[in-house]
Structure formats: structure tokens, C-alpha cells
């Protein structure tokens, strides 16, 4: 099937934006921290003004929460435009697909009354997560013991290992039963040897897995297409594309806090390789910045707060993993890290989220330098040992007592809140294009605060 020729229907309701995403080109939305910045809310909001939303990396490790009216849904694999009728949603080649998670999500979205027929496209080149990927990840994390990464257990790392080792199974392989059987038999024999001999873990049954994946093929077949071709043709036809990143820049396998990272490229370059679109098609790169920082899993986190303030951020911000339910570690906003991720991604705009959570926190601290070995600087070290050793140097600002939840006008924000946003824009040298003051679509200030 190739749906590229048909113009995707446009959603009629438009949101007044302080950023023009109708550029007939690509806008990339990227987490600027360690994930969970509120990308889902933002992509859903911007989707009201866009033709196509495309996920470019990661898998069901992502948890993107969308809230509208009295409804809330956490998406793991489907792009966050799926609740906007008429918006085409693409799962790109860079995503690793867990069939069980995908089918479950498609079913639930349909049951909620949202049609996916003709507007969901899945890349034939995307790799599949196999039961052995999850089994190996479990065994590896267990063996790492205290040095564990604290992964989401969704098989992401081992699936990307197979992709780059050129032993992965792709969506297109489902079309040919003989190829699928041959690939899986070889792969499972190798994985069973590793599971049994190295990790003393249970082995997997080849026939059962083949059966399961053949069933999966029957359901996803209508959605499978050459998505790179589709996107490039759509761009030529003047469509707007929103590329939705999962995770965050500091979890990037190259530019994050390695080895405490995910196994893909959430950063801007990942949008090109994960969708098969040229860098020249990208017009805007929006960095999503939570007004404080959170991190799930292990690894260095210079501004982490283990005191009452951290507890308060977790409680008020409901900082519990959308995928695993784990409590998120909380800390102050880190502008040294943000300047670094802005440099890597080339952010053209920043979207500040969860500003409302800081109401009543007084004073507010913002990290503007790191101190290490008796010297202070603004360099973000990605070498784990150094990052774990730096001491954050804070700029202290007065907080505000007013509840700003749901505020939609910039003038309705207290001066202290506006000053904080201004500091972020000026420090990073990038305009803020919107401020989120609550989880719902409407709870957003659409204003441009110039750097
Ligand atoms: P994502 O992974 O970046 O999409 O973010 P998550 O969905 O994992 O986590 C963000 C959480 O914050 C979700 O529960 C959202 O509903 C919620 N959220 C998003 N923006 C805001 C905001 O401005 N204020 C508040 N209070 N919650 C928000
Ligand atoms: P969204 O898209 C926050 C973290 C895990 C772990 C590390 C590696 O919702 O922002 P993995 O399972 O990817 O191999 O785990 O990355 N992690 C996330 N943290 N938000 C996410 O996604 C994450 N996806 C993975 O907690 O530390
Ligand atoms: Mg999340």
C-alpha cells in the first residue's frame, strides 16, 4: 500500500500559536533534558495545526501523556497526533516496534472512538522487538547489579544491538514467512545459547514466537508502507510535518550521560535518520524544557534534590514514570545542561513546561555554572565520572505564591515567573515560544519571549 498520493485531510480547529509550524517543512520536537518534559502534551497541541506527526526513534520505553477535556491517555508507540482526527501519524524506520504494545495501543485508541484507518503508517524498515530482547535485557540488568542502567525493560537496547549487528528482524520480513522463519530460527538459537549459558536464564520457543509474529503481520499489514517515500512526497506537496522525539537529549546514546542513556538518538540528527528525511527539510527545532529537572533510572544528575523540595516537586508535579510507574528523581533546572543540549540540537525555540509546579517554591534555584576541581565553568561534561563530581552553582530567584495553573495570558503570570522564563531564554540564547501551565491543551501561554 502506498498512501502518499492522497492529500491527508486537514484538521479544522486551529490553535493560535506563537510559533508558525505551517512551514511546509519539518518541525522537530525534542526533549531537552532526561525525558518526560511534556513532549506528548506539546505535540498533541501543535498537531491541531499540522498535517503529519512522525515518531523517529525509541520504542515503547516512551510514555507520552496527553490530556484533553476529562480524558487522559499515555501513548508509548503511536505518535501524539493520533487524537487529532485527520492528522496522519507515522511510525518511522528509526523506531523499534513491540508488536504486543502496538496492537494494544491501536485497539485502545480505536475503542476510544478514534479511527486510525488510512491515517496510521508504519515503516516497513522499522525493527521489531522480540521476546528475546526483553529476556536478554532483564538478564543483563540483573547481572549488572549495582551498576544497572535502570532501563524500562522494554527490550530497547538489545533490539538496537541486533539492528546494528545486522541480525534484526524488520517489519518487511513479516511479509515472507520463509525469510521470517529462517531469521528467527538462527536468531533464537543464538539468543538461547546466550540466555542459557551466560545468564542461566530460561530459553525461548521458536515455533511459538513465529506463530505470534505471523498473527501480528495480519493486523498491521494495512498500515505498512515506505514511510520515507511518503514523507518526502508529502513535503514536496507542501505538507507540514512534526517529528516527535522520544526520551530526551541527555539520554542520547552519543551525546547523553553514557552509559546511563537509551540506545537511540533523540537529538535532532535522529529525526533525519529515523524518518529518512533530509536535514535541509528541517525548519524548526523546538526544545521542550521542564521548569525543573527529572530523571528516571540511574546515572549522574548534578542538580538532584534529595530534600523536601525534591519531594514537593515529585508530589505536585506527579513525577512518576508514565511507562514504569517509578518515582522520578527531581531537581532544579540545569541551564548548563540546557545550553549543551541546545548546542547539539540547534534549538530554534524553547517550550517551557510545568511552570505551575513551581508555584509556592521560594526561593527558586537555577544552575548556571558547574564547579569542579576548584574552578567554575559552563561546560557540560558527558563523561560520567566528571559529571557525577561537579557541584552545581546556583542563581537564586524569588519564587511566586500565586497558583498559575491554567494561565493562558503572559500578562497573567507573576513577574517572578516571567523573570524566570526570561532568564532561561537569555541564558540559552533562544526564544521561548510557549509556556505550559497545566497538562491540558488549553493550559498554555502562547507568547514569544525573546532571548
Ligand atoms: P513526555 O514523555 O515528555 O511526553 O512527558 P510525560 O507524559 O512522561 O510526563 C509529563 C507529565 O506532566 C504528564 O503527566 C503530563 O500530563 C504532565 N504535564 C505536561 N505539561 C504539564 C504542565 O505544564 N503542568 C503540569 N502540572 N503537568 C503537565
Ligand atoms: P519519554 O519519551 C524518561 C530512561 C530509562 C533508563 C534509560 C535507558 O517518555 O520521555 P531504555 O529502556 O530506554 O533502555 O532505558 O532511559 N528512559 C526514559 N526516561 N522518559 C523516557 O521516555 C525514557 N525512555 C527511557 O529510565 O534510565
Ligand atoms: Mg514520558
| Chain segment 296-323, per-residue pLDDT in tens | 999 999 999 999 999 999 999 999 988 8
In sequence order, the β-bridge partners of residue 286 are 29, 349
Q: Which atom of ligand 1 is nearest to the CA of 41?
A: 19
Q: How far is the CA of 448 from the centre of ligand 1 (A)?
A: 21
The grid cell for 418 is: 516571567
Among 409, 4, 2, 11, smallest CA distance to 225 is for 2
What is the per-residue pLDDT for 23? 61
Residue 239 has pLDDT above 70, yes or no: yes
Quick one: how many helices (H) and strands (E) in the chain?
12, 20
Q: Is the CB of 296 under 6 A from ligand 2?
A: yes
> CA-CA distance, 157 to 262, in Å (whole number)?
7
**353-378, pLDDT tens digit by residue?**
999 999 999 999 999 999 999 999 99
Percentage, residues of the chain above pLDDT 70: 95
Q: How far is the CA of 76 from the centre of ligand 3 (A)?
A: 8
The grid cell for 334 is: 540545569
Average pLDDT, the chain: 93
Q: Is the CB of 36 under 6 A from ligand 2?
A: yes
Q: Which atom of ligand 2 is nearest to the CA of 31?
A: 10
Q: What is the mean pLDDT of residues 67-77?
A: 94
Q: How far is the CA of 62 from the centre of ligand 1 (A)?
A: 13
What is the per-residue pLDDT for 24? 67
Q: Is the CB of 156 under 6 A from ligand 2?
A: yes
Other C-beta atoms lying within 10 Å of the C-beta of residue 191: 22
pLDDT band at 146 (very low <50, low <70, confident <90, very high): confident
The grid cell for 296 is: 528516571
Which residue ranges have their beta carbon within 6 Å of ligand 1?
Answer: 31, 35-41, 63-65, 67, 318, 322, 353-354, 356-357, 436-439
The grid cell for 263 is: 540506545
| Residues acting as catalytic residues | 36, 64
Q: What is the mean pLDDT of residues 25-38?
A: 97
Residue 3 has pLDDT above 50, yes or no: no
Among 103, 93, 134, 129, smallest CA distance to 265 is for 93
What is the per-residue pLDDT for 88? 98
Length of the chain: 451
Q: Which atom of ligand 2 is nearest to the CA of 245?
A: 2
Q: What is the mean pLDDT of residues 87-110?
A: 96
What is the per-residue pLDDT for 6? 42
Q: Which atom of ligand 1 is nearest to the CA of 74?
A: 7
What is the per-residue pLDDT for 16? 59
What are the distances in angstroms from CA 271 to CA 107, 135, 245, 253? Answer: 27, 29, 7, 14
The grid cell for 291 is: 521548569
Helix axes 335-345, 415-428, angle to 10 degrees: 50
Q: Which of residues 389 and 205 earns the better pLDDT score?
A: 389
Q: Is the CB of 61 under 6 A from ligand 2?
A: yes
Q: How far is the CA of 309 from the centre of ligand 2 (A)?
A: 24
What is the per-residue pLDDT for 200? 86
What is the per-residue pLDDT for 20? 66
Q: How far is the CA of 301 from the centre of ligand 1 (A)?
A: 20
Residue 345 has pLDDT above 70, yes or no: yes
Q: Which atom of ligand 1 is nearest to the CA of 37?
A: 3
| Residue to mutate, 41, 79, 83, 441, ligand 1, most ligand atoms under 8 Å from C-beta | 41
What is the per-residue pLDDT for 415? 97
Q: Is the CB of 94 under 6 A from ligand 2?
A: no
The ligand minimizing its distance to the Cα of 352 is: 1
| Residue found under cell 488510512 | 118
Q: pTM of the prediction?
A: 0.94
Which residue's C-alpha comes closest to atom 27 of ligand 2? 297
Residues 6+ apart with CB under 8 A from 298: 148, 149, 150, 260
| Residue to mutate, 251, 318, 341, 384, ligand 2, most ligand atoms under 8 Å from C-beta | 251
The ligand minimizing its distance to the Cα of 43 is: 1
Q: What dihedral do alpha carbons 199, 205, 208, 213 form, nearest 10°?
A: 50
> CA-CA distance, 436 to 373, in Å (whole number)?
38
Q: How far is the CA of 319 from the centre of ligand 3 (A)?
A: 10
Q: How far is the CA of 296 from the centre of ligand 2 (A)?
A: 7
| Dihedral sign from CA coordinates of 299, 305, 310, 311 | positive
Amino acid at each position: 500500500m502506498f498512501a502518499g498520493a492522497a492529500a491527508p485531510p486537514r484538521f479544522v480547529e486551529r490553535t493560535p500559536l506563537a510559533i508558525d509550524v505551517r512551514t511546509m517543512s519539518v518541525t522537530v520536537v525534542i526533549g531537552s533534558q532526561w525525558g518526560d518534559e511534556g513532549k506528548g502534551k506539546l505535540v498533541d497541541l501543535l498537531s491541531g495545526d499540522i498535517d503529519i506527526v512522525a515518531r523517529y526513534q525509541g520504542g515503547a520505553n516512551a510514555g507520552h501523556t496527553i490530556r484533553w477535556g476529562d480524558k487522559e491517555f499515555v501513548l508509548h508507540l503511536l505518535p501524539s497526533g493520533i487524537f487529532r482526527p485527520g492528522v496522519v501519524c507515522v511510525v518511522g524506520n528509526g523506531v523499534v516496534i513491540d508488536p504486543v504494545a502496538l496492537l494494544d495501543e491501536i485497539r485502545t485508541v480505536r475503542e476510544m472512538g478514534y479511527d486510525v484507518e488510512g491515517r496510521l503508517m508504519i515503516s516497513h524498515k522499522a525493527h521489531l522487538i522480540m521476546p528475546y530482547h526483553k529476556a536478554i535485557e532483564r538478564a543483563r540488568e540483573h547481572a549488572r547489579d549495582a551498576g544497572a542502567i535502570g532501563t524500562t525493560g522494554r527490550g530497547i537496547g538489545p533490539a538496537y544491538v541486533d539492528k546494528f549487528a545486522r541480525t534484526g528482524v524488520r517489519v518487511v520480513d513479516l511479509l515472507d514467512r520463509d525469510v521470517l522463519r529462517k531469521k528467527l530460527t538462527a536468531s533464537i538459537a543464538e539468543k538461547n545459547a546466550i540466555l542459557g549459558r551466560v545468564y542461566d536464564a530460561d530459553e525461548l520457543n521458536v515455533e511459538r514466537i513465529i506463530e505470534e509474529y505471523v498473527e501480528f503481520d495480519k493486523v498491521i499489514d494495512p498500515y505498512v508502507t515506505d514511510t520515507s517515500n511518503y514523507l518526502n512526497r508529502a513535503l514536496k506537496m507542501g505538507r507540514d510535518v512534526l517529528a516527535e522525539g522520544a526520551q530526551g537529549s541527555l539520554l542520547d546514546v552519543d551525546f547523553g550521560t553514557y552509559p546511563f542513556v537509551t540506545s537511540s538518538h533523540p537529538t535532532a540528527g535522529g529525526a533525519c535518520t529515523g524518518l529518512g528525511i533530509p536535514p535541509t527539510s528541517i525548519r524548526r527545532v523546538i526544545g521542550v524544557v521542564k521548569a525543573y529537572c527529572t530523571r528516571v533510572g540511574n546515572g549522574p544528575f548534578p542538580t538532584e534534590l534529595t530534600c523536601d523540595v525534591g519531594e514537593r516537586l515529585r508530589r505536585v508535579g506527579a513525577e512518576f514514570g508514565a511507562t514504569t510507574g517509578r518515582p522520578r528523581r527531581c531537581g532544579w533546572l540545569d541551564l548548563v545542561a540546557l545550553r549543551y543540549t541546545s548546542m547539539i540540537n540547534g534549538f530554534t525555540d524553547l517550550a517551557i513546561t510545568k511552570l505551575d509546579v513551581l508555584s509556592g517554591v521560594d526561593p527558586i534555584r537555577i544552575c548556571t555554572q558547574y564547579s569542579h576541581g576548584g574552578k567554575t565553568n559552563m561546560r557540560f561534561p558527558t563523561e560520567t565520572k566528571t559529571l557525577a563530581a561537579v557541584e552545581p552553582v546556583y542563581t537564586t530567584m524569588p519564587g511566586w505564591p500565586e497558583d498559575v495553573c491554567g494561565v493562558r495570558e503572559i500578562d497573567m503570570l507573576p513577574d517572578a515567573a516571567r523573570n524566570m522564563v526570561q532568564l532561561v531564554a537569555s541564558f540559552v540564547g533562544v526564544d521561548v515560544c510557549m509556556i505550559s501551565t497545566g497538562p491540558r491543551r488549553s493550559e498554555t501561554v502562547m507568547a514569544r519571549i525573546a532571548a
